[in-house]
Amino acid sequence: MRATSKFSSSLWFWVAGLGLIVVMVLAACAPAATPTPAPSNTITGIVWQWTSVTNQTTKETTTVPNPESYTIIFNADGTLTGKADCNSFSGTYSQQNGFTIKLGPTTMAFCGEASLDQQYLALLGSVAAGGPDGAGGLALETAGGAQRMLFKKGGAAVK
């Protein structure tokens, strides 16, 4: 009877050890868990719609009545495109030593007396600082923070 009991104990340890090996092999073969990406602070690949501009001296805010007509898209390669009411524009931007925008080719059609296209283009050309506003939007400011432009996300840019 002792031999059988000794055999049973050895068999049990052998099966338990084999089971442990099988579990480790299966765990090693399982796909690695995909890490959840951290929230992104990037401004690229998004259609930003201009919603308002505030004169920081007078605290006067102008609300843009049709934000979808005033957009800007920042591309990862440092280029940008957008529209200013009935006009379109392109250019480059840099986030080195502040935030700068250099407007390039721009159509210059007359969009009507009520259009904010000229003000929008002038403000963009004067941007000296900017980035995510901490609330899911984008804030761009002219030198010294004199004018603060706010943008909301209008969706992903079409590639």
Q: pLDDT value at position 41?
A: 53
Q: CA angle at residue 38 from 52 to 131, to 5 degrees?
A: 25
Look at the pTM and tell me if it is higher than 0.85.
no
Q: 């338990």: which residue's tokens?
A: 16
Q: How far is CA 20 from the centre of its chain?
A: 46
pLDDT for 108: 94
pLDDT at position 6: 52
Structure tokens that stand for 154 in this block: 């209008």
One digit per residue, the tens of pLDDT, for the chain of length 159 reads: 445 555 444 543 444 444 444 434 444 444 443 333 333 458 999 999 999 999 999 999 999 999 999 999 999 999 999 999 999 999 999 999 889 999 999 999 999 999 999 999 999 999 999 999 999 999 999 999 999 999 999 999 987
Look at residue 16 in the predicted model and tell me its pLDDT: 43
What is the pLDDT at residue 45?
Answer: 95
The residue among 158, 16, 151, 159 whose CA lies nearest residue 71 is: 151
The predicted pLDDT at position 158 comes to: 85
